[in-house]
Structure 1
C-alpha cells in the first residue's frame, strides 16, 4: 500500500495551482456547438414515506442515501438516509421505515444537536476486536463525523443502527466552536477504503471549495478520526475567450462541493462542485492532478448577485458560456456502478433539470447519456435530486442492482398537502437504466470493491 498521506492544509495552495493549470484545458475542451447525447426515461413505483420539515415531522429534510448490502440475505439489505435536523432514517427494500434516529448532541463537552447531511458505508472496520460495517455521517452543526454500527441482521434487526462515535472528536474545518456557528462545516461525504486496511472519509466544506480526508480509527471503545488533511479546489477559471470566470455565489461563500464518490479500484475521487461541474481527483491529495470531467451548462456565464432577490443574474442575457451538455446546476449527488474489470459508470444528479448524467469510469470519463425518473402507479416523478446511491448487487426485487435517489419536492399521492416541505427517496431498478442507455451489468460481489 502507498503510505503517503494527503496534503496538509499548508500545502493546499500548491495543489490548487496544479488544479488551476488543468482547468483551462477542461473549459477549452468544450465544443463550440452542442452535440446531442442519448436521453432516456426510466420509471419507479417504489418510494419511501414522505418526510416533513415541520414540528410534527421533527424538521426532517431528506438529503442523501446509502445502501448497505447484506452479505448473505439480499432481502435484509437496508437503505440509510439523512434527514438533516431530523436525524437518520432506515428503510427496508420495500421502502418501509424500520428505524428513526434523532440528530442527538455530539458526544463532546460543547456538543449540540446535530444536522446530518451526508452518509456512506464503510465495510469491515476494526472495532473492539471485531470487524463491523459502519454508516459514516457528516454532522454540520458539530463540524465532525458521526459513526453508527450496522447490525449484521440488517432489516431484520430490532435496531439496525447504533451510534459508536468516540468522545471529543476534532472539528474538521473550524478552529473553535464559535467558528462552527458560522456554518462553513462538514457537508458532503464519501468513504474511501484503499487496499491495506486503512479507512478514510472524504468530506467537503459547506460554502467553501475545500476537500478534506480523515482517517477512521478506533479510539476509546468507539470510532473517531485522525490525520485530517485538506486541499482547496478552484474558485476561478480562465476561459478560452481570454476572460476569467468566477461562479456567482452568495456573499461570503465560495463554490462548494457536495456529492462525492471514490472509485475504490483506482483511488480516484469524483466530486461534484455544484456550480462548476464534475471533478476527477486522484487520492491521496497530491498524487496526481485534478481535472474537470464535465462542466455545468452555464459554466463561463458571467453573473452578478442581486441582494434583493438573492439570485445570480447574467450580466449579458445572451451569454451562452462554455458549458457542457448534461449538467444543469446544481451538480449534486454522485455514485458509481461497478461492472466487470475496470468498467463502470459514474452517475451524477443534474438537479437543475431533474435528470441524471452517466459517465464511464474508464479513459476520459466520456459522457454515456442522461436519464430522468418518472413515477408510475401513484408514485411521483423524481425532482430536484440531491444525493443518490447505487449498488450493483442483486437486492430483493432488484436482481441487477439498485439506484436510490433523493426526491424534492415529494408530491406523491400519499403526501399530506397540509404539511410543510415534503421530501423522500425513490428506488429505481438498475436494469431499467442499463437497458435504456446500453450499459454493461455485473452483479458479482467480486466486482464491487466496497464489499471487500
Structure 2
C-alpha cells in the first residue's frame, strides 16, 4: 500500500512553536474498573457555558462533566458492558460497547446540564444487533466494537457512525435509525478491511508485530464531513472517503516511527522485540501507538501515545506535550481526545480541547480527563 502525502504538512520552525500548554481543569481520578478512555464534547444550543463533556470509563460506564470538570452524572454499562469510545451527533451521545459488541445511544438533555441534574438518558434500541459478531457466543470472543466516530453526512443529512473492530483491521459504517418508541438503533451500510501487511520501498513486505492471533487494530477516529481519519495503532493514520454507499479508497497519510521495523513476538517476555535494523521507512511525528484523533477546522490533532506527545497537523505541523499546570497534572499515554471550536464562555472563550490522561498522579494508579484552552494548542 503506497503512502500518500498529507498536503497540509510542513514543519513549524522551533522558534515559532508555542509553549507546551497546561490543563486549566481536570476531572476526578478514576481507578479500575472505572478506567477513563475517550471524551466527547456536547455544545449546549442555548447557553454554550453549560456545555457538557462526556467520557467513557470502560466497566465504569459513561460520565458527564461540566466545564469546570465536575462530575454531573455516571451512567453504568449494564450487565456485560464495557464502554470504549464516545462521540456526539446532535443531541445524541453514541458509544461503542466493547463488552457486548453494540452501539449504545444516549439522549442529552439540555435542561439537565445544571450541576446535580441528570444529563443522559439511555435510548438504545433493545433489539440492536451486534456490530460485528454473528452470535452472542462470538461476542464472547471479544473481537467487538472498539473505536467509534459519529457525525452527519453533509450531503444526505443521515446520522452515521463508524466503528472499528478489536484485534482486526475491519471498519464498519452504520446509520442511526429512530424507532417509533423513541429509541435509536443502527443499520449497517458497509464495511472495509484495511491492510495488515505493507509493501515497503525496498520491495520487501512488512507486517506490524502483534500478539499471536491478533491483527493491527484501529481505534482513534474522527469524521470530517465525508472523510474518516482513523488511527491504526502500530501503522499510522488513514484518510478514508465516505458515501452512504460505503468507503472510498483509503490512503495512509502518516506513519508511526516504527513503520517497517522488523520485530517478532517473544513468548517468554510476552511482548514484541526488535528483529533487525530500522530500515528508515517510518514517519517523523508519531510513536506507536497512534491513538486519539480530533479535528479543528482543517487541523488534525493526534495522540502519539508511545511518547506521551500530541501532533498538530496543519499549515505548520508540530508536536507538543500537555504539561502540569497550577493544580493540574501533565498528560501521559493519552487514548482519546475531542475538540470544539465554539466559544464556551468565560473559561473557554475560543474553544476547548479535552484529552484522556492515562496516568493521573497519585498513590493509586488512576486515569482521568484534562481540559485545555484550544488557543493554547491551535493559535488563531
**Where does the alignment leave 5 or more consecutive residues of structure 2 unmatched?**
none
* 1:313 lines up with 2:247 in the alignment: no
Q: Is the 8 A contact 2:228 2:240 kept in 1?
A: yes
Aligned with residue 141 of structure 1, among 95, 99, 102: 99
* 1:121 lines up with 2:88 in the alignment: yes
The equivalent residue for 2:159 is 199
* 1:403 lines up with 2:353 in the alignment: yes
The equivalent residue for 2:46 is 72
* 1:51 lines up with 2:30 in the alignment: yes
Offset from partner CA, 1:283-315 (integer Å, 9 cap, x none): 037553210110000100010011111111111
Q: Pick which of 277-286 and 301-310 moved more.
A: 277-286
The equivalent residue for 1:223 is 184
**Where does the alignment leave 5 or more consecutive residues of structure 1 unmatched?**
1-22, 30-34, 54-58, 106-112, 124-132, 339-343, 361-365, 436-440, 442-452
Q: Is the 8 A contact 1:188 1:204 kept in 2?
A: yes
Matches within 5 A, 1:47-446: 47-53=26-32, 59-105=33-79, 113-123=80-90, 133-156=91-114, 158-195=117-154, 196-221=156-181, 222-264=183-225, 267-284=226-243, 288-316=248-276, 318-338=277-297, 344-360=298-314, 368-396=317-345, 397-411=347-361, 415=362, 417=363, 419=364, 421-435=365-379, 441=380
Secondary structure of the 1:352 match is helix
The equivalent residue for 1:24 is 2
Deviation above 6 Å: which 4+ runs of structure 1? none
* Whole-Å separation in 2 of the counterparts to 1:219 and 1:313: 50
Secondary structure of the 1:175 match is coil
TM-score (norm 2): 0.93
Aligned length: 369
* Whole-Å separation in 2 of the counterparts to 1:82 and 1:159: 16
Query: 1:351 offset after TM fit, Å?
Result: 0.2
Instruction: Considering fraction of residues, name the structure with more helix.
Output: 1
TM-score (norm 1): 0.78
Offset from partner CA, 1:77-116 (integer Å, 9 cap, x none): 01000000000111100010010111113xxxxxxx3100
- Aligned-residue Cα RMSD (Å) equals 1.9
* Whole-Å separation in 1 of the counterparts to 2:317 and 2:307: 18
Offset from partner CA, 1:361-407 (integer Å, 9 cap, x none): xxxxx761111101111311100000000000011301111000000
* Whole-Å separation in 1 of the counterparts to 2:59 and 2:334: 19
* Whole-Å separation in 2 of the counterparts to 1:429 and 1:43: 9
